[in-house]
Chains A and B, each alone.
Chain A
Amino acid sequence: MVDKQDKKPEKRAKPASRRLPKTARELKEEVGTTGHSWDGIEELDNPMPRWWLTVFYITIIWGVVYTILYPAWPLVNSATSGILGWSSRGEFTAEVEAQNEANAAINARLDSAELTAIADDPELEQYAVNAGAAVFRTWCSQCHGAGAAGAIGFPNLLDDAWLWGGSLEEIYYTVAYGIRNEVSADSHYSEMPAFGDILSDEEIAQVVNYVQSLSGDPQDAAAAAAGAEIYLDNCSACHGEEGLGDIYQGAPNLTDPIWLYGGDYDTLLETVTYSRYGVMPPWLNTEGGRLTESQVRAVSVYVHQLGGGQ
C-alpha cells in the first residue's frame, strides 16, 4: 500500500504566496515580544510597517505646514492668522459676493422695472417673491412673524387692512422709508395725542364706547351715544367722520374687526389715554437702512402677494 501511495503523482506545491501565514508561535520566536502581557495576551515586538511610519512622518510635516498656513496657535488676545490669510468670515463674505454677482443681472432688471410691471414678467416676479421671502425671514419676521401674521403692535400683513396703504407702491414706500423713525427724513409720520391730557376720564370712557359701537356692540350704549360728539371733535380729523381711517396719516379704520393693539374696552381705554407710537425703521440703504434697492423691491413684492395686497 505504501508503494502505491508513492506512485500517486504529487500534488503540486502551492506557490509561496499561497502558503498559510505564520502562526503566532512562529512569529513570537522570530521577533520576540515587548514584554507586555494582559491575561496572557502578549504583544509582539514588530516594528511599524514602513508605509505606516512614512505616513506618520508626513502627518507631522503636514501639521507643521498647516499651522503656518492657517490660523492655529492661540496667543493672549487672538491667534496666529496664518500666512494664507484665510478666515471663516472671509470665506463667508466671498460666498455672499459670489451670490450677489450671480444675481446682479436679475437684480438690475428688478431695479429698473416699474413696480407694477413686475407681475407681468413671471421670471422676475418669481425671483422677487423668493428673494423677498428670504429678506422677510431675515429682517422682518422678528416683529411681523415668520408667517407675516404680525403681533400686538405689529401689523398682520396677510389681511386687507393697511395703515399706510396696501398697493405695491405704498408697501414699497413704507418698507423703504419706515414709520415714525428719526433716521429717514421721508419716513411716514403721524402722532396720535395722548387724550389723557386732553379729555376727562369720563369723556375717554364715552369715546371708547363709541369706537366700540362702530365695529360691534359697545359696553355701555348710553356712553357710546355721548361719545359720538367727542369723537367728532377730537378723532374724526384723522380717523374720519365714519371711522374709516386714513392711510395718509396712518390712522386705522375703526369700523373693522382688525385691531393693532386690541379692540377690547381696556385696551382701547389705554390706547386713547396714552396714545400709541409704533415705529418701523427705514430699510432702504440710501435712507439709512440695511437693504439694497432690489431687496426692498423684492420684499415689497413678497408682502404684496401674501394675500392682502391691493
Chain B
Amino acid sequence: MSATEEPALYASREPIFPKRVKGSFRSFKWVILIVTLGIYYITPWIRWDRGPELPGQAVLMDLANRRFFFFWIEIWPHEFYFVAGLLIMAGLGLFLFTSALGRVWCGYACPQTVWTDLFILVERWIEGDRNAQIRLFRQGWDARKARLRATKWIVWILIALATGGAWVFYFADAPTLLQNLVTGQAASVAYITIGILTATTFVFGGLMREQVCIYACPWPRIQAAMMDEDTITVAYRDWRGEPRGRHRKAHDDAGDTETLGDCIDCNACVNVCPMGIDIRDGQQLECITCALCIDACDEVMAKIGKPRGLIDYIALTDEMNEREGNPKVPIWKHIFRVRTIMYTVLWAAIGIGLVVALFVRPDLSVTVAPVRNPVFVTMSDGTIRNTYDVRLRNKHGEDRVFEVTLASDAPLVLTAEGEEGGEILVPADSTMLQRIYIMAGPETAAAADSVTDVTLWVEDTVSGERVYKRTVFNGRAASNTAGN
C-alpha cells in the first residue's frame, strides 16, 4: 500500500432514521400491512372439516404425505401443474404491475417492506421519532439507551419469533404443533426452521433493511428492465420545484427577481425515506416507490398553500408533456395500453384455465402401465397372459372399492392379483398399485395376434364415477422368444 489514505474495502452502512409521516399513501400502506400480516399469521389457524381421515386445517402443506390442502381443494403431487400455473400467474402478475405501476410490489406488498415497516413502527414507539433516534444514536451508552435498545430488540425478536413460528404451522396441524413446540416435543426441523426464520426476520427487518433491497434482491434489476416511458413511478416534478429555495423571505427581501420553484428544500421527502435517498435526484435504483415522500411533500405543499403533487406518481412521458405546459395526462391513460392489456389477458387466460382444470379434474384417477418384461406369459394350458400395473388413486377421506372391468371385442378375461374378481379396496387418501392380469384362451385370435386393443374401465362403486384407459394386449406374435 502506498502512504496515501488506505481505501476501505467495504462501505459501512449509513444509518437511516425515517421520519414519521401521515397521508393517504401511508394509511393505505398500514391497511396493506394489517391485511397481509393478518393473512400470514391467521391462515394456519383456520379449520376446515374434511372428514376423519384427512387433516382439518384449511391451508396445509403436508410434506410427509405429499398433499397440499387449500380449503376445499386438495392437490396431489401429480397435479403440481396447478402450482406451476400459479407461479406463472404470479410472474405475469408482477410483469403487469411492474409495467403499469413500476415497483409497486416493492413499495407496498413485499414482505421485506412490510416487516421493515412493522419494525420501524416498533422502533418509533420505543425510541421516538427521527430526531430522538438520531440523538440516541449519537449519544454514548447510558442506562436509558441500554434500556431502550434492549426493549426494542426484545420486541423485534418476539415479532421475528412469531414470524418464523407462523411459517411452520403451514406444514403441520397448527394446534398440535404449537402444543408440541411449547412442550419441546416437536420435530427438530421445526425448531431449526423457526430459528432460521427468526434470525432472518430480525436481521433483515431490524438491521439490514434497505440493504436487502439494494444489494441482495435481484428483483429491482429485473423490474428496471420491464419499466417503460408510460410506467407510473414516484418522481419529483423538478420543472415545477426548481430552482428550489429555502429562505423565500430573504430571497424576496434581497430584491431577487428570479422566480423560485415550489420546492422549499425542507428535506421532508428525504427525512421520511426508508431507503435514505433524495427523490429529487431523479429515479434511483434504491427507490422502492413506497410513496412516503409523496405524503410528506403533499403535507408541506398544503401548509404553504401550493397544489399537491410536487412529488407524485407520474410517468416518464409526463415530463416532456408538462414541461411544454400541456395539461396532465390522467393516470389511467398510462395504465391502459396494449402492453398491460396483453399481460392482463394472458394472466386471466391462465387463471381461467386453472379454474376450469380444477373443476373438470376427475375425482377418480387411474394410470395403466402394461408390463413389458416380458410382454406376455404363456400358461401351462396355453393361455396367453398380459400383466398391467394399475395405479388407483382414492382421493376420498374413506376407503373405497373400485371395480376394474374390461371392454374389448375379443374374448378376454380379467383378474386382479390377490383379489377376487376385479373389485379392489383402496385405502383412504392413497394411491394403490394393483397388478391386473388379462388372459386370452390358447385358441383365440388375441392369443395369436401381436396387438389387440383393450379398454379398462374403473368404476368407483360408491359414487358410480367411471373412467377408462385404453391399452393393448400382446399375443404370441408380439415376440418369438418371450413367454417361454
A8→B243 CA distance, assembly (Å): 8
Neighbour of B382 across the interface among A22, A51, A152, A257, CB < 8 A: A257
In this assembly, does A213 line the interface, its C-beta being within 8 Å of a C-beta of chain B?
Answer: no
Please tell me if the beta carbons of B374 and A257 are within 8 angstroms of each other in the complex.
no
- Within 8 Å by CB of B380, from A22, A49, A147, A257, lies A257
B373 and A147 contact, CB distance less than 8 A: yes
Assembled-state Cα–Cα distance A145/B373 (Å):
9
Given contacts A18-B14, A307-B385, contact A258 B378 (CB under 8 A): yes
Given A47-B1, A150-B484, A9-B379 contact (CB < 8 Å): no
Docked CA distance A22–B6 (Å): 12
Residue-wise interface mask of B (231-260) relative to A, using a CB-CB cutoff of 8 A (1 in contact, 0 not): 000000000000111100001001010100
Using known A-B contacts A9-B246, A15-B14, determine if residue A159 contacts B2 with beta carbons closer than 8 Å.
no
Residues of A close to B256: CB separation below 8 A: 4, 7
Interface residues of A in 49-102 (CB under 8 A from B): 49, 51
In the complex the two chains form, what is the Cα distance from A32 to B1 in whole Å? 10
Asked if A17 meets B11 with Cβ closer than 8 Å, knowing A4-B256, A31-B1, the reply is yes
* CA A71 to CA B11, docked complex, whole Å: 44
Chain A interface residue bracket vs B = 35 or more
In contact, A257 and B378 (Cβ under 8 angstroms): yes
Q: Which residues of A contact B385 (CB under 8 A)?
A: 158-159, 307
- Which residues in A have their C-beta under 8 angstroms from that of B483? 149, 156
Q: Assess whether A160 is in contact with B14, with CB atoms less than 8 Å apart.
A: no
Report yes or no: A156 in contact with B377, Cβ–Cβ below 8 A. Answer: yes
Residue on A nearest B427 in the bound complex, by CB? A122
Distance in angstroms between the alpha carbons of A253 and B8 in the assembled complex = 91
Q: Is there a chain A Cβ closer than 8 Å to B330's Cβ? A: no
B271 smallest CB distance to A (angstroms): 12
| B146 contacts A by Cβ under 8 Å | no
* CB–CB A30/B381 < 8 A: no
Q: Which of A210-260 contact B (CB under 8 A)?
A: 253, 256-260
Interface residue? B150 (CB, 8 A):
no
Closest to A158 in B: B377
Residues of A within 8 A of B251 (CB): 7
Chain B positions within 8 Å of A30 at CB level: 2, 4
B interface residues with partner A (beta carbon < 8 Å): 1-2, 4, 7-9, 11-12, 14, 243-246, 251, 254, 256, 258, 265, 371, 373-374, 377-382, 385, 387, 417-418, 435, 437, 442, 482-484
Given A15-B14, A32-B2, A158-B387, 16 more A-B residue pairs with CB atoms under 8 Å apart are: A4-B258, A8-B245, A9-B246, A9-B265, A17-B12, A18-B11, A49-B9, A145-B373, A145-B374, A159-B377, A159-B378, A159-B380, A259-B484, A307-B387, A308-B377, A308-B379
8 residue pairs of the A-B complex, CB under 8 angstroms, read A18-B14, A149-B377, A156-B374, A159-B380, A257-B380, A257-B442, A307-B437, A308-B377
Contact residues of A with B, CB < 8 Å? 4, 7-9, 15, 17-18, 22, 30-32, 47, 49, 51, 119, 145-147, 149-152, 156, 158-161, 253, 256-260, 262, 305, 307-308
User: Which 9 pairs from chain A and chain B are nearest by CB?
Assistant: A147-B373, A17-B11, A256-B380, A149-B374, A161-B380, A158-B377, A257-B382, A159-B377, A30-B2
